[in-house]
Amino acid sequence: MPDTALSYHDVELAAERLAGAAHRTPVLTSSTADARTGGTLFFKCENFQRMGAFKFRGAYNAIAKFDAAQRAAGVLTYSSGNHAQAIALSARLAGIRSTIIMPLDAPALKVKATREYGGEVVTYDRYTEDREEIGRRLSQERGMTLVPPYDHPDVIAGQGTAAKELFEETGPLDILLVCLGGGGLLAGCALAARALSPHCKVIGVEPEAGNDGQQSLRKGEIVHIAVPRTIADGAMVTHVGAHNFEVIRRAVDEIVTVSDAQLVQTMAYFAERMKMIVEPTGCLAAAAALHGVVDVKGKRVGILVSGGNVDLARFAELVATASA
Ligand SMILES: *Cc1c(COP(=O)(O)O)cnc(C)c1O
């Protein structure tokens, strides 16, 4: 059990560090979505955040806290997704070196984007090698500070600034829906909700194929599962983080699941009605409202749209199946 009790104050401090660096992303509404659900929906659009996802917030906040020795040695992480780009970009803005451990079979586009942001990419074989072991070894050899994708207090506090901005714009809400992978975004946003809208119900949304978070919350301890098969690649985790669960168990009310088919329909909805590209994982929270998994009738509802990084060909392929 982590010994640090994270609080909303950590989110406020993160917001000060992020001021001027992160975008204050738009909060959009859709009368079609309101008519369809009977609720009043506010979409916090982190697909318009720098590098295309909320991950910039946590990565930048963690690096901004580095001391001189940490800055001189640089930052290290492992990720095949948005956290890789978030660390590479944040490191470049801070003027420090970054090394990203990525699987050999990571999408070429993501490897390319990470390199373009100035990150040094070290590849490993995900079937025979352990990325956490490589991370520990490299951080020892090079003295670099490891900033993991979600299980870190500074990452959680940074992600919470997304919900802080949302509540500042909408005022108190009845329900807040947040996607759940390792729990960085959900834990941070729950801290903001508890402070800024105490009566708001905070609900995490994860893919049906991997409901480890739901099982963990019900059981009161972290449940591990096999790598879930889902199109929500940002939520393909086997268990929530320890720091994350410490917050989730005290600040989150419920965790629900949505199917891949519902995610695809939500992607199509965003493209057609709201004219925006949202990646599959970014659709989790909205899918729960649009498909009635959570009843939002008569409620004021915040929805975290977490990211928009999806290969265009893949996007077209998925959306084509939705309208059939
Ligand atoms: C990482 C990620 C998630 C999951 O976030 P966690 O903090 O791991 O729960 C959801 N959506 C997108 C777009 C992501 O990049």
pLDDT, one tens digit per residue, over 57-98 is 999 999 999 999 999 999 999 987 899 999 999 999 999 999
Write down the catalytic residue from 30, 79, 80, 139: 80
For the Cβ of 279 lying below 6 angstroms from any atom of ligand 1, the answer is yes
User: Pick the residue with more confidence: 106 or 135?
Assistant: 135
Of 2, 11, 291, the closest CA to residue 166 belongs to 11
Helix/strand/coil (H/E/C) assignment for every residue in the chain: CCCCCCCHHHHHHHHHHHCCCCCCCCEECCHHHHHHHCCEEEEEEHHHCHHHECHHHHHHHHHHCCCHHHHHHCEEEECCCHHHHHHHHHHHHHCCCEEEEEECCCCHHHHHHHHHCCCEEEEECCCCCCHHHHHHHHHHHHCCEECCCCCCHHHHHHHHHHHHHHHHHHCCCCEEEEECCCCHHHHHHHHHHHHHCCCCEEEEEEEHHHCHHHHHHHHCCCCCCCCCCCCCHHHCCCCCCHHHHHHHHHHCCEEEEECHHHHHHHHHHHHHHHCCCCCHHHHHHHHHHHCCCCCCCCCEEEEEECECCCCHHHHHHHHHHHCC
Averaged pLDDT, 45-61? 97
**Mutation test residue for ligand 1: of 78, 156, 185, the one with most atoms within 8 Å of CB:** 185
The per-residue pLDDT of the chain, averaged, comes to 95
For the Cβ of 315 lying below 6 angstroms from any atom of ligand 1, the answer is no
Q: Which of 7-11, 77-81, 116-120 has the highest mean pLDDT?
A: 7-11
Averaged pLDDT, 227-241? 91
| pLDDT range class, residue 324, cuts 50, 70, 90 | low
- Ligand 1 centroid – CA 272 distance (Å): 23
The token pair at 150 is: 């979600």
pLDDT, one tens digit per residue, over 202-214 is 999 999 999 999 9
List all residues 6 or more positions away from 74 whose beta carbon is below 8 Å from its beta carbon: 91, 96, 97, 98, 99, 142, 144, 145
The token pair at 234 is: 């940002």
Are 86 and 78 spatial neighbours (Cβ–Cβ below 8 Å)? Answer: no
Question: If phi over 0 gives left and psi between -120 and 50 gives alpha, with beta otherwise, what is residue 51?
Answer: left
What is the predicted pLDDT for the residue at 301?
Answer: 98
What is the predicted pLDDT for the residue at 126?
Answer: 79
pLDDT-above-70 percentage for the chain: 98
Write down the catalytic residue from 81, 135, 184, 210: 210
| pLDDT range class, residue 39, cuts 50, 70, 90 | very high
- Ligand 1 centroid – CA 123 distance (Å): 22
For the Cβ of 82 lying below 6 angstroms from any atom of ligand 1, the answer is yes
What is the predicted pLDDT for the residue at 119?
Answer: 94
Strand arrangement of the beta sheet that strand 75-78 belongs to: 120-124, 98-103, 75-78, 145-146
| pLDDT range class, residue 4, cuts 50, 70, 90 | low
With a cut of 80, say whether residue 15 has pLDDT above it.
Answer: yes
- Ligand 1 centroid – CA 183 distance (Å): 8
Based on the residue annotation, tell me whether 119 is a catalytic residue of this protein: no
pLDDT, one tens digit per residue, over 274-319 is 999 999 999 999 999 999 999 999 999 999 999 999 989 999 999 9
Of 283, 237, 236, the closest CA to residue 264 belongs to 283
Based on the residue annotation, tell me whether 98 is a catalytic residue of this protein: no
pLDDT, one tens digit per residue, over 135-190 is 999 999 999 999 999 999 999 999 999 999 999 999 999 999 999 999 999 999 99
Averaged pLDDT, 14-40? 98
pLDDT-above-90 percentage for the chain: 87
With a cut of 70, say whether residue 26 has pLDDT above it.
Answer: yes
What is the predicted pLDDT for the residue at 1?
Answer: 47
What is the predicted pLDDT for the residue at 254?
Answer: 98
Cα-to-chain-centroid distance, residue 190: 13
Q: Which of 98-107, 117-126, 187-196, 309-318 has the highest mean pLDDT?
A: 187-196
For the Cβ of 186 lying below 6 angstroms from any atom of ligand 1, the answer is yes
Write down the catalytic residue from 10, 206, 233, 279: 206
What is the predicted pLDDT for the residue at 323?
Answer: 63
Q: Distance (Å, rounded) from C-alpha 184 to C-alpha 306?
A: 11
Taking the whole predicted model, whether its pTM rises above 0.85 is answered as yes
With a cut of 90, say whether residue 103 has pLDDT above it.
Answer: no
For the Cβ of 191 lying below 6 angstroms from any atom of ligand 1, the answer is no
